[in-house]
Amino acid sequence: MRELKNHLYEQVARIGKAVASPKRLELIELLCQGEKTVEVLAAQAEISVKLASAHLKELRLARLVDTRKDGKYVLYRLAGISVADLWVNLRSAAEERLVELQVALASIVANGDDLEGFDRKAILKKAAAGEVLVLDVRPSDEYATAHLPHARSLPVDELKKRLAELPKNTPVVAYCRGPFCLMARDAVELLRKKGYRAFHLTDGVAEWRAHGLPIEE
């Protein structure tokens, strides 16, 4: 009986071992945005292709990541929504318990930039009514895979030259890949400098879905 219990815990520990790496966690977060090649993942995580491949191999061994062929390319994807939920829950638990993480996150969202006092359903309702403009500042391919309802795609690297497309009299709510992503922060900073009422939504698609809210795919 003890051997069986040991085996059970060992199997669960495989998941713990697979996610016990900052870069593997970042790769999971990136894959929450949709399928990507190892070259794209390496570039976005700012590591070599060789190192990205090694990390992805560990994630595959733990059945957290799957692959599929698309012509000459191999695309990596999460093995299921539960993997995205695992990331959201693990990060949320860390934020709740670790003061160091709380301090680091506070440096991303400055006072007045967040949406304190507005819950997710209220934002959804206001977006549907046209009372706020929800702006997805991730790359357009990630937006095409899945995005928040009523969100408009405007990648952060295109924002400066396309500001004229945004109405000045409507508050803008910018989001990207989640609380650790800096693109929405940069977008809010630029919009405010140009006179827009802009706010930072720290949720990404994975967080929104984890809270039981609809996603457009």
Rounded-to-integer distance, Cα 89 and Cα 189, Å: 28
Q: Which of 159, 173, 176, 205 is catalytic?
A: 176
Q: What is the pTM of this model?
A: 0.93
Structure tokens at 140: 């357009």
Q: What is the model's pLDDT at position 119? A: 81
- For the residues 95-105, what does the mean pLDDT come to? 95
- pLDDT-derived band at 86, boundaries 50, 70, 90: very high
Rounded-to-integer distance, Cα 186 and Cα 169, Å: 20
**Catalytic residue flag (residue 176):** yes
- Looking at the predicted structure, is the pLDDT value of residue 111 above 80? no
Half-sphere exposure of 58 (CA within 13 A, CB side): 18
Label each residue of 81-140 as H, E or C. HHHHHHHHHHHHHHHHHCHHHHHHHHCCCCCCCCCCCCCHHHHHHHHHCCCCEEEECCCH
Which pLDDT tens digit goes with each residue over 171-193?
Answer: 999 999 999 999 999 999 999 99
- For the residues 73-79, what does the mean pLDDT come to? 97
Distances (CA, A) of 172 to 9, 137, 175: 47, 11, 10
Which pLDDT tens digit goes with each residue over 28-40?
Answer: 999 999 999 999 9
Packing angle, helices 38-45 and 49-61, rounded to 10: 110
